[in-house]
Amino acid sequence: MRIQGLLILGCLCLVPGLVTAAPVEVGAGVNTASVYIEWADGFSVDFLVRFGQAESDTTTGLGLMDIIEAGTKLTTVRADYGWGVYIDGISYQGHSNEGYAGGELWWHYWENNAGSQNPWQSSMTGAAGRTIAHGDADAWIYGHGDEPPAIDVVEVGSGVNQAGVFIEWSDGFTAEFLVHFGSSELDTTTGLGLMDIIEAETELTTVRDDLGWGVYIDGISYQRHSDAGYAGGELWWHYWEDNAGSRTPWQSSMTGASGRIVAHGDADGWIYGHGNEPAPASVNPFLAGYGHYVYNPDDFATSCIAYNPNGMYNDWLTGEPFNDPNAALGRPTVDTSGDDWFIPMDMNAPVVPVYPPFRAYELVYLGEGGSITLSFNHPVRDDGENPYGIDFIVFAHPYQIIGGGEGWTNGNPRSVTVGPSGGIEPGIVSVSQDGQTWYTFTNDPNFMSDNPNFIKLAGDVESGPFCGGFAPTLGRVYDPCYADTSLGDWNRWWAEPTNPTLPLDPSLTYASLDGMSIARISETYGDSAGGVGYDLARLDLPADPDTGMKWFQYIRIDDAPGGGSTEIDAVADVSCPGDYQHPKPVGDLNGDYQVNEDDVAIVEGYMDQTVTDSSNPAAVADINGDGNVDQTDLDTVIANLGVCA
């Protein structure tokens, strides 16, 4: 059994960073509770704490920390102001924060009660008065008021395919599993097969019955949570299915688990006690929100400031030179033409990782020693909400090499697999706020050595990334259920254009995709168009005094010496909830960029409290800033219910 990091399964998109390394186990007893701790430097650790001789035994928040201190090298600093002992400092493995240092710089204490429909809540009692029962969780965060990560996903099984399973018991307890299966991409399993794998590797057990039309699950037990049989009304196990590529994710199953065919990217849900569709805590509603992208030119570089090529290259089909700098403006190429070798020239050919844009009207050529300078019509910011911390993306001309070296024929992407390498034409990226002073993603002392206006990375910091490297562009979403027939009757796989403002997981490489089919690679991309992503946090850019964010408006790309003549297709600003196009809705109190019943609950929880300063936890509910949490604040939230960034 393993705990997994980033999961994107077809249409099942799981939040990056919600799942962590296996927790540190401490203590002894029949009950368990978890403790999440995060320091100001971003380091975090999870503990699984065992306690109690009987199932009814409880402890306190401080009791959990006592057990952790006794079983590890973690230490705490505690104080007592008369109303109870509280934790003022925590140190572990060289990470330490203590005391109040202004703003959010203090230890925020959160609680998560087993079965609660609002998992993480800011504690109203303090650790000394907090009662912990089996299945509860505590969290300590220094430096920000964002709630702790959601539920971990348990990873089981083995194989090249993945499917998700969400289970919810009548007491509100939920568990989520990522199940691996199959020795080839075409292999499938059943709903019961998924449960077999989970049962084989965890303590989960099922009760099964056969009424003649097939085996079904009548009971599920896990970590002392158990429901079985039919008890009237909605009190039975509701079985749901979510098929990869479906535009209506969760559907009540019409087949039952024994007849349900599960392929890579699918998901199952089991809920006892109500007929509402599953709501996995690990699924990021905003990752799904990146789908069905509507093109907006403002998301991309909008003008060319300077273009200085060195030499030239011509389109081999028409003889036209790659010398139009406007080719680098707007979105990256979605569909190109046939190459007149493997694909007829007059045939539409969606851009895929093994078949990049290659026409003179799609790319602009730099040549060795050449450069291009572009600008956006707005600041591109180092926004903490950007996926993976990536702030902008450069699209160029990289490509993955098909295993065996054959050409791409625009055929079935499931039947073509790739090797571990790809084409690279690296370019050096620099950004500027004023078009004069440049901050560059290289520490090469020879780059612009005679120009003091180029500020480089420190010598001990790794250079890059370099545009023109991984990841190749994917022009369209792989979705056989909704193939775009306007491309031609031949198309049975490629749907709407991908989203160039959604970065790809930066941990992926050519080698990590080795042996995958083009279809599986495209499923891994999901809605992302690929490209090389950049994090502005790596540069010593000045921050905007109003937002506190680093930013730029001009970008320059220089061909890297000996790099192979870079060609540029587009540069995109990564979009995220809360950015200049998607502002945070009024009434969003928990920072999830949507206004819903959770925000109503926050106001109701602080109702009639007086707010004297911003450090008061109730300040989040004082929407109009009049110093009181009252009906006016509640009315504001209710008036905006359903609004989403």
Residues 27-66 have pLDDT tens digits of 998 888 889 999 998 888 889 899 999 888 999 999 999 9
Give the phi and the psi of residue 176 in degrees, each rounded to 5.
-130, 135
Please check whether residue 582 is in contact with residue 501, taking contact to mean a CB–CB distance below 8 angstroms: no
Dihedral sign of CA atoms 439, 308, 562, 406 in order: positive
Q: Tokens for 588?
A: 């969003």
Q: What is the per-residue pLDDT across 448-457, written as a single tens digit (0 to 9) for each? A: 999 999 999 9
Distance CA 336, CA 347 (A): 9
What tens digit of pLDDT does each residue of 6-15 get?
333 333 333 3
Domains and CATH numbers, the chain: 21-142 (2.170.130.30), 154-288 (2.170.130.30), 303-573 (no CATH), 584-645 (1.10.1330.10)
pLDDT at 424: 86
Per the listing, tokens 């083009």 go with 518
Q: Would strands 267-272 and 161-168 be described as parallel, antiparallel, or unpaired?
A: parallel
Give the list of residues 6+ apart from residue 444 with CB closer than 8 angstroms, or none.
428, 456, 463
pLDDT of residue 163: 93
pLDDT averaged over every residue in the chain: 88
Q: What is the per-residue pLDDT across 153-184, written as a single tens digit (0 to 9) for each?
A: 888 999 989 999 999 999 888 889 999 999 99
pLDDT of residue 249: 78
Mean pLDDT, to the nearest integer, of 568-580? 88
Q: What is the pLDDT of residue 118?
A: 59
Residues 254, 259, 263, 266: is their CA dihedral positive or negative?
positive
Alpha helices in 30-60 (DSSP H): none
The neighbouring-strand residues paired with 578 are none
State residue 11's pLDDT score: 38
Q: What was the pLDDT predicted at 48?
A: 87
**Beta-bridge mates of residue 594:** 644
Residue 235, pLDDT above cutoff 80: yes
| Confidence band for 18, pLDDT divided at 50, 70 and 90 | very low
User: What pLDDT, on the 0 to 100 scale, is given for residue 83?
Assistant: 66
Other CB atoms within a 10 A radius of the CB of residue 131 amount to 13
> 568: which strand partners?
364
Per mean pLDDT, which range of 230-244, 336-350, 359-373, 604-618 is the poorest? 604-618
Assign 287 a pLDDT band (cuts: 50, 70, 90). low
Residue 384's contacts (CB-CB under 8 Å, 6 or more residues apart) are none
Mean pLDDT calculated for residue range 440-450: 94
Write down the pLDDT at residue 117. 52
> Is the model more confident about 71 or about 249?
71
CB 129 within 8 A of CB 84: yes
CA angle centred on 110, ends 107 and 115, rounded to 5°: 170
- Percent of all residues in the chain with a pLDDT value above 70, rounded to a whole number: 93
Q: Which helix (H) or strand (E) element contains residue 46?
A: strand 44-51
Q: What is the torsional sign of CA 260, 261, 264, 265?
A: negative
Region at 15 (left for phi over 0; alpha for psi -120 to 50; beta for the rest): beta
pLDDT at 328 > cutoff 70:
yes
Q: List for the chain the helix, strand, coil content (%; round to 5).
A: 15, 35, 55
Using the predicted structure, report yes or no on whether residue 16 has a pLDDT greater than 90.
no
Which phi-psi region, left, alpha or beta, contains residue 278 (left: φ > 0; alpha: ψ -120 to 50)? Answer: beta
Least confident of 117-126, 158-167, 413-422: 117-126
**611: CB partners within 8 A, 6+ apart:** 618, 619, 622, 627, 628, 629
Helix, strand, or coil here: 201?
A: helix
Under a CB-based contact definition with an 8 Å cutoff, are residues 169 and 30 in contact?
no
Q: What is the 3-state secondary structure (H, E, C) of 461-510?
A: CCCCCCECCCCCCCCEEECHHHCCHHHCCCCCCEEEECECCCCCCCCCCC
- Average pLDDT score over residue span 260-284: 87
* Mean pLDDT on 224-234: 93
Per-residue pLDDT, 269: 96
Cα–Cα dist 349/344, whole Å: 9
Top mean pLDDT of 2-6, 474-478, 574-578 is at 474-478
